[in-house]
Amino acid sequence: MNLRTAAAAVAVLALALSGCAGGDDTPAPTPASSSATASASPSVDRAAARRECIDAWVKALEDGTASAENQPAVCDQVPGQAAQMYVEALAQHNAANRERLEECMDDPSCTDYPRS
For the chain, what are the domain ranges? 1-19+52-116
**Contact status, residue 89 vs residue 5, Cβ threshold 8 Å:** no
- In sequence order, what are the residues at sequence separation of 6 or more whose Cβ sits closer than 8 angstroms to the Cβ of residue 104? 110, 112, 113, 114
The predicted model gives 13-39 an average pLDDT of 49
Does the model's pTM come out above 0.85?
no
> pLDDT tens digits, residue range 32-54?
544 444 444 455 588 899 999 99
The pLDDT value recorded for residue 39 is 47
Query: Is 5's pLDDT higher than 70?
Result: no
What pLDDT does 35 receive?
A: 46
